[in-house]
Chains A and B, each alone.
Chain A
Amino acid sequence: MILLALVAVPVAGGLLGWALGRRSTLVPRWISLVAMVLDLGLSIVLWAEHPAASIGGGPWIAKLTLPWIPQWGIQFELAADGLSLLMIVLTALLGVASVIVSWSTVRERVAFYNLNLCLVIGGIVGVFVALDLFLFYLFWELMLIPMYFIIAIWGHEKRQAASIKFLLFTQAGGLLMLLAILALFFIHGATSGEYTFDYFKLLGTPLAPGVATAVMLGFFVAFAIKLPAVPVHTWLPDAHTQAPTAGSVILAGLLLKTGAYGLIRFVVPLFPNAALQFAPIAMILGVAGVIYGAALAFAQDDLKRLVAYTSISHLGFVLIGVFAWNTLALQGAIVTMVAHGLSTGALFILAGSIQDRLHTRDMRAMGGFWESAPRFGGIMLFFALASLGLPGLADFVGEFLVLLGTYAVAPVIAIIAAVGVVLSAVYALWMIYRTFQGRQAPGRALPDLKAREMAVLAVLAALLLWIGLFPQRVLDTAAPSINQLQAGRTALVVPHGVHRDEL
């Protein structure tokens, strides 16, 4: 039941705040904050029980199955393992952060805004726990609509175009995924006689190689758009740049993770052979993202756009790690997902704060802010360093493990990805140079961070440091799921020419 509560609490909080918040703007803010904090508390409770709560010794720690539309083999099936758990905790945490950073910056239609915020968080949690493919698809679509509203209504100057682009890209992917889900449903039904959307039953559906590749690609494209992988990433810079601060935080911190999660949860386990054959292409796309994202980040004048492109670079590491598919690389991918959520989320909060204060995102109009806002500068530098993979912070652990795991199976990919280490230093330090160093233009002083902002950022910074120095808790949480996933994969015949190292 705790899983249902995790989904229901933000949704209920949002609706309640909307219903009561017609007059006061404070009511919906407080209600959504309480709901998010409650959700965070629940997720931490669930984490604290892990892994003692294991069901039957497997990776699953909580499960809920309710009949829903039995005629079509659809169930209301929720389940969580360590992977879901990490993502849920991240979701709830960034949910709290989103409500707080929107506190005084969103002033129009506050009740409706908070409703959308709560719905998108609820939808994302749903995506991370739904194990019935039909239900998964439902949550997948459910989280998009409120996100669309958040960009389209509370976004910046080009919000209309950006929100429509976002919607069209993700809908195109969603459509392909729906077709793939239906194909799997019918093939499984035809071969086994049981028509079902149950993830656990669909695992191991025998598929002809060509069919498997086609169906897998349906899923892959949907998740690759969300991730985003090059070359279907172009919705992201627009959406991130135009979204209000909390929207960017949720987009970068969480929505992108649903793509990565989908790859790990569905693409490889459902289509192990097809994914194995596809792995080289996927890894090439990943490494292309690492390099291309970093290069484009350096090219930007718009601060939020710069941060948006860094996401493409970081998620490239995730794509590589997932398809390298050994323990080290998968653990690296998962740590990178968490670390990126924290560090990039924080960078968007900072970029948003600069925009709120100076009403510009253009770095050509910035510089020398260290003088007027030293705390701001120190914090910004910290997250920039996390982003460039400074050892001792979380992003480094993730990216290093990805590289280490990848080197064993595809050394060339790992070597090219290592170039990203240099390019990330270039964009991160150049960003600091253009904003905080040099001489401050007269009349362009940046007011320093306030206590409320400091509190949120300090928590994110502390978590990055914690994961960077003591990553074992996170690794142990994900380990049972990864072992399970690996067990499914090792049963396969390894095709000729692909070297798999059992790490």
Chain B
Amino acid sequence: MELLWLVPALPLLGFALLTLARRLVRGVAALIGVGSIGLSMLVTLWIAYSFLVSPPQSGAASDTVWSWIALGDFRVSVAFYLDSFSLVMILVITIVGFFIHLYSAGYMEGDDGFARFFAYMNLFTASMLILVLADNLLLLLVGWEGVGLCSYLLIGFWYRDPANARAAVKAFVVTRTGDAAMLVGFLLLFTSLGTLNIQDLLSKAVSQWPSGSGIAIAAAALILAGALGKSAQLPLQTWLPDAMAGPTPVSALIHAATMVTAGVYLVARTHAIFALAPPVQLAVGIIGVATLLIAGFSAITQRDIKRVLAYSTMSQIGYMFLALGVGAWGAALFHFVTHAFFKSLLFLAAGSVILAMHHEQDLLKMGGLWKRAPVAFWTFLVGALAMAAVPPLISGFSSKDWILSWVWSSPAGGPVLYVLALLGVLLTATYTARLVTLAFFGRERDVPEHVHPGGALIAVPLIVLAVPALFLGLIQTPRSLGGVNLFASFVQGVLPEPGAEGPPSTELLLMAVSTLVALAGLVLGWALGVSQARAHLARREAEPAGSPLHRFLLSGWGFDWLYDRAIVGPYRWLARINQSDVADWIARGFAALSRLLNRLLSLAQTGRLRWYATALGIGAVAIVAMVVFL
């Protein structure tokens, strides 16, 4: 594993070259930007190969690059840690990342910030790899804040529009709110356990903290706060829909496939602490299912194709949190993997649609695109069916089904969570089918005459990513469908299962129920799409604002409204009224006082001899009187 450091170092080098070199030819910039990730992917594949052929004895290998800070007991290194879990993560990041970079070379063609775009994307990939490879929490934080920074930079990439720049600031600040709590969690962990090395922390926590102890609960809750911000879960989810202001490949890479799942990674990585804090773990599951439903309802109402996908991302990550909440760590990771492929595919295909529509993102103006942009249509369809968890297309199906069966059978799960999750299945299928219907089927509404869904650089990544979106589910299937257990057995050493599985008959029943629900959702979504398309064609110009409920869902359940009034507004108000700093009143008071005294005393300076003589006389009398009487 000596090559491990190269995995993040290559994209970092790409970033450095793209930043420091001035005026790169477009082709060279693309070569550096895409090539660095490609090389990193090749190194990762080599590492994966050698990991599989000769697994390290303890199941993990680590590589210390240099000692970062050493102060007495406080020692952290820039060191990378590779086990089956982080191997899965870096495989997904580099493979998905590479194809998104390749796609970007086509998508961003003609943008005046071409080199800048690839610089940011490379820095992002490097940070994300550092995040998942870090062997200690401080280095993890470097990656964590690094991806947040790149998210900020790329959301605000088209900086000329102030709305984009504001969305960027919002994303950074909202996630950093969670990060601040997480930072306190790190302080607590170090102060009570004496290390920030992740593996040491986990083993010490298990041996020193009793289950359900206050300190374990506090630590888990604080880590969770950071995870919620990054993964756009309740109550820190508001930044993600606005983050769609970034170019579409950014949405695919950062705001779908990788960064937003960092919270899932963090919770799964520190799952031993969560297992010691049952109330927090329950909260993880509840937050997951709540986000799943809230985002699902909002997704149904959106008109902007990217916003539908943004809410669907929140909702799919809700599934992963639900899985974490019931202790199905492996299932959460597997859904992360399949989601990374099908969601990046969906975003990239949507990007192709957006190109075809000349940067129009309103679904109601599309329609009938299946003929006009066939590659985008077919690949989008693959992604959509995977997301809707329709059985024959098995990547999304098998991961979601795995989660659902654990929600049912895990000791931390149960029928209530299961029914809510099933409602989520219905919502997912509904918004997916509505999206597909509105965009690709029916009559063309405002589709431009000449559509350009992109050339080979766009088409090839789409087709390549469609393959895993279709077939990845084959490595982990339910027992009644072959019972392939490759994925679970690969990560089992790191991410144990929550208990014994239920009987196969129950599993089969659950699968049948969820399939039926998903099919019902598809029909519902199709009907919704058709009726909305008709309604749009009928009225054309005047769009009514919609019912209050519709507006409520469209706005993401009013969270932005609430936060604006409760936090942002008061802070700005305080800033405005105190711009000149109340603390300065003391100094200004002194200044005013001395000016006043100056004015009073200078009144006495009249220049008239009579006044001076009188004052002199009074003074003399006063002094004599004092001497005599006191």
Contact = CB atoms under 8 A, between A and B. Distances in A.
Say if A and B assemble together.
Answer: yes
Given A422-B176, A429-B152, A429-B169, A391 B142 contact: yes
Interface string A263-279: 00000000000000000
Interface in B1-32: 19
Contacts of B172: 425, 429
A433 B587 contact: no
A385 interface: yes
Contacts of B188: 407, 411
Interface string A408-438: 1001001100110110011001100100111
Given A403-B183, A425-B173, A503 B73 contact: yes
Nearest to A427: B575
Given A429-B172, A433-B165, A471-B69, A390 B145 contact: yes
Interface stretch (A54-62, A178-186, A250-258, A294-302): A294-302
Interface in A311-358: 327-328, 331
B168 to A, nearest CB: 8
Given A400-B138, A429-B173, A233 B72 contact: no
Nearest to B164: A437
Contacts of B628: none
Contacts of A400: 138, 183
Contact of B574 (A165, A295, A403, A479): A295
A106 interface: no
Contacts of A371: 160
A415 B177 CA distance: 13
Interface in A213-234: 230-231, 233-234
Interface stretch (B364-372, B576-584, B599-607): B576-584
Contacts of A407: 184, 187-188, 190-191
Contacts, number: 140
Nearest to B69: A471
B401 interface: no
Contact of A404 (B161, B168, B190): B190
Given A237-B581, A385-B149, A421-B179, A404 B187 contact: yes
B509 interface: no
Contacts of B73: 503
Contacts of A231: 583, 586
Interface in B185-214: 187-188, 190-191
Interface in B136-192: 138, 141-142, 144-146, 149, 152, 156, 159-162, 165-166, 168-169, 172-173, 176-177, 179-181, 183-184, 187-188, 190-191
Interface residues of B, number: 53
B336 to A, nearest CB: 24
A469 interface: yes
B435 to A, nearest CB: 31
A421 B180 contact: yes
B68 interface: yes
Contacts of A233: 583
B169 to A, nearest CB: 5
Given A298-B575, A407-B188, A475 B169 contact: no
A296 B69 contact: no
Contact of B162 (A429, A439, A469): A439
B70 interface: yes
A285 to B, nearest CB: 12
A328 B74 contact: yes
Interface in B299-322: none
B71 interface: yes
A231 B165 CA distance: 34
A470 B183 contact: no
Interface in A143-199: 165, 169
B576 A299 contact: yes
Interface string A358-393: 000000000010110010001000000100001110
Nearest to B584: A234
Interface string B236-248: 0000000000000
A421 B72 contact: no
Contact of A391 (B19, B67, B138, B152): B138
Nearest to B194: A503
A230 B152 CA distance: 32
Given A299-B578, A470-B66, A391 B141 contact: yes
B157 to A, nearest CB: 11
Nearest to B177: A422
A422 B180 contact: yes
Contacts of B78: 469
Contact of B71 (A165, A401, A418): A401
Contact of B69 (A378, A437, A475): A475
Going nearest first, the 9 A-B pairs with the smallest beta carbon separation are A299-B575, A437-B165, A234-B584, A407-B187, A391-B142, A438-B162, A437-B159, A231-B583, A299-B579
Given A397-B69, A407-B187, A425-B176, 16 more contacts: A165-B587, A233-B583, A295-B575, A296-B579, A298-B575, A391-B141, A392-B145, A418-B187, A421-B180, A425-B173, A426-B169, A426-B173, A437-B156, A438-B161, A439-B161, A472-B68
20 contacts: A165-B587, A234-B584, A295-B578, A296-B578, A299-B579, A327-B72, A331-B71, A368-B160, A385-B149, A390-B149, A397-B69, A404-B191, A407-B188, A418-B187, A425-B172, A426-B173, A429-B173, A471-B69, A472-B67, A472-B68
